[in-house]
Structure 1
Amino acid sequence: MPAVTETGLFCEYFGSQLAVEFGLDAPVPVIVNISADLLDASRDSLRSWGLAPRSGEAVGVEFFRGLAPLNRFAPVGSGRGEVADALRIYAFDMLVQNPDRRDDNPNCARYRGRFLAYDFEMAFSFLYPLVGALLDPAEIPAFATQHVFYRSLVEASRRGVVDLQPVGDALNRVGERVEELGQFLPARWASFAARVVSHIRAVQARADVFEDGLRRSLA
């Protein structure tokens, strides 16, 4: 279904794209155009699913069958692999300032032994006037404590099984690619993309501050 705003479309598409680049298991996004003819031909089926989309441009994502919900009380197991997956998602959400992965709305599921993150519409919250950018893009947002993996990662950190080295590597990888990826976006998203590129590059330039902030947030 087409998103309500251009900002939402951009965030869903570019957020998903950067998540994959960061190393998350996440749906691959595509830009699609829903024609009026297609809606007319499938209206009955859509109605049976409780859907009433409008024609226009939208963002579609890869479909995964067989997703399993997280255990709300213990979303992350004790194994290093699960901790590493959870940390990668947490770090990415802090990087792109995404507040929309919480206990009551995890936007994450288990899939074939891994965590699959989805729904990036609220990523890049610094684009929204009511939220605004942090004074220092490398700061860890205050909503970190509301993240679905926060408590599990704090416990893992106290056990000494949190390794931030892969996060630093992923940040460098995204920092090197973000401008190139932004060049392939629709022209009408250019101003959004420029702000995201600036933000990612600013964090990359202060990677030590960002990583230290992650470490302290989980202490």
Structure 2
Amino acid sequence: MTGQFGVWSPGNSISDAMLPIAAAIFVFDGIVQNPDRKVDNPNCLVRGEELRIFDHEFAFAHDLMVGWRPPWVLGGLKWMETNGNHIFRAGLKGRAIDFDPIRDAWAGLSDDKIKDYQEVLPVEWVDVAGAAARAADLIREARDHIDAVLEEVKRVLS
């Protein structure tokens, strides 16, 4: 990304204008099980009130983890409880966050839209079809349990 974006650093703070998108990113990373947006590896660019995230290579590895719990189960986001394990946790903790737009966006994901996500993968990537199907299943289940996901997020941020 060009155009004077800088890398998110520990010195940055989440302004009121950034709060909705920072919360949405936090929920997204929790759902897709992306443990790689942490203080020492932010994978986030900032320009004024704008945020851009990138590098999701560790997302959707949930089926490889022993003892994994879905993000809609109590303790499913335990890994996000420690400051530093996600760049936005400390800045979101204790803030008044309106989760309704996040809930509505996730609840509004249709099965067809989720299927579209799978179908945009290049045909040359046939060896990842199983992983893509498992990722789509996780997205679908998170959508179906979005209220419980948001309760777990609120617990982590309380």
TM-score normalised to the size of structure 1? 0.61
Match of 2:102 in 1: 167
Q: 1:114 aligned to 2:50? A: yes
Match of 2:93 in 1: 154
Match of 1:31 in 2: none
Between the two structures, name the one with larger relative contact order (CA 8 Å, sep ≥ 6).
2
Q: SS of 1:155's equivalent?
A: coil
Deviations 1:159-200 (A, max 9, x none): x2x011111122124454112220232333211111011111
| 8 Å Cα contact 2:107/2:144 also seen in 1 | no
Which amino acid counterpart does residue 132 of structure 2 have in structure 1?
A
CA-based RMSD of the aligned residues comes to 2.0
Match of 1:76 in 2: 14
* 1:170-189 alignment runs, 5 A limit: 170-174=105-109, 176=111, 177-185=113-121, 186=123, 187-189=126-128
Larger radius of gyration: 1
The CA distance in 2 between the partners of 1:182 and 1:108, in whole Å, is 24
Q: 1:134 aligned to 2:76? A: no
Match of 2:59 in 1: 123
| 8 Å Cα contact 2:44/2:53 also seen in 1 | yes
Match of 1:192 in 2: 131
Note closer, same or farther for the CA distance 1:137–1:150 as it changes in structure 2 (3 Å cut).
Answer: closer
* 1:1-219 alignment runs, 5 A limit: 63-77=1-15, 79=16, 81-111=17-47, 113-127=49-63, 129=64, 131-132=65-66, 134-139=68-73, 140-145=76-81, 146-156=85-95, 160=96, 162-174=97-109, 176=111, 177-185=113-121, 186=123, 187-219=126-158
Note closer, same or farther for the CA distance 1:175–1:103 as it changes in structure 2 (3 Å cut).
Answer: farther
Gaps of 5+ in 1: 1-62
The CA distance in 2 between the partners of 1:136 and 1:217, in whole Å, is 14
The CA distance in 2 between the partners of 1:181 and 1:191, in whole Å, is 14
Which amino acid counterpart does residue 200 of structure 1 have in structure 2?
I
Q: SS of 2:18's equivalent?
A: helix
The CA distance in 2 between the partners of 1:106 and 1:124, in whole Å, is 18
